[in-house]
Amino acid sequence: MYACRIRDLTKEYVLKSETVRALRGVSFDVPEGDYVAIMGPSGSGKSTLLNLLGCLDQATSGELYLGEDNVSLMSDDELAEIRSRRIGFVFQSYNLIQQLTVVENIQVPLYYQGRLGPKERQRCIELAERVGLGDRLDHRPAQLSGGQQQRVAIARSLVNDPYFILADEATGNLDSKTTAEILALFDELNEDGRTIIMVTHEDEVAERAKRVIRLRDGLLQSDEQNDPEERKAAAARALELVPSELA
Ligand SMILES: Nc1ncnc2c1ncn2[C@@H]1O[C@H](COP(=O)(O)OP(=O)(O)OP(=O)(O)O)[C@@H](O)[C@H]1O
Ligand SMILES: [Mg+2]
């Protein structure tokens, strides 16, 4: 099974005086359980690609399948439905609601769908525990560290049982120790079978993925598997930074 399949995807932004060809025909598949880092210079189309995968925007041409669903044929309403029910986003800036507690922030996607019963509340508590915040359920974002806030965002991204976790520079605001904690969490979630697609500028982050896709000028420049032994070694190096109760 595939988390997604991308066929000759293009995206053009039409401005007054010019057309920007942000993606110029990109094709690749992501099997379920994969862990992909998307890299490339500024302006190469990484965020554009992530926005298409996240159903935040519609491609100009080409095909995008999420699971078995051909998203390229969907209306805006159908896209919005998929986005709220089957996509998990994690952003650099966490995007938490300051007035809400940890567990309430995790519940937000369900609240918007009117699907928040006792069973769902319990599941959100379990997700908070899963990301190591079982003792912080009633904290608000301002009472949490950056790494803890990003864990809330990761738990929230899982609440919908998404096709994949989409992370755009998810560790961009974090120091190296906290980055190591978040990447250790991604490793665990990936070992649980979660598919992860993340954009990063940093080699130390990309080497933790199973696979690295490089974009250049809106085209796929390379698509390579990371060596499993080197991945393990990179994870072990990073773990030395993490306090033992989390390791
Ligand atoms: N909404 C938009 N309207 C017009 N042009 C856009 C828009 N969004 C992106 N672009 C252009 O599309 C190209 C790809 O942008 P994109 O944001 O995908 O790059 P990126 O690889 O994410 O870069 P960065 O590493 O700086 O985040 C750039 O030339 C950018 O200027
Ligand atoms: Mg970007």
pLDDT in tens, 187-203: 999 999 999 999 999 99
pLDDT band at 246 (very low <50, low <70, confident <90, very high): low
Residue 245 clears pLDDT 80, i.e. is over it? no
Separation of 44 CA from ligand 1 center, angstroms? Answer: 7
Residue 243 clears pLDDT 90, i.e. is over it? no
Handedness of CA 13, 19, 21, 25 (dihedral sign): positive
Say what the pLDDT of residue 115 is. 83
pLDDT band at 160 (very low <50, low <70, confident <90, very high): confident
Residue 226 clears pLDDT 60, i.e. is over it? yes
Residue 215 clears pLDDT 90, i.e. is over it? yes
Ligand 1 pocket test: pick from 20, 38, 42, 220 the residue with the most ligand atoms within 8 Å of its Cβ: 20
Is this model's pTM higher than 0.85 or not? yes
Ligand 1 pocket test: pick from 15, 26, 42, 48 the residue with the most ligand atoms within 8 Å of its Cβ: 48
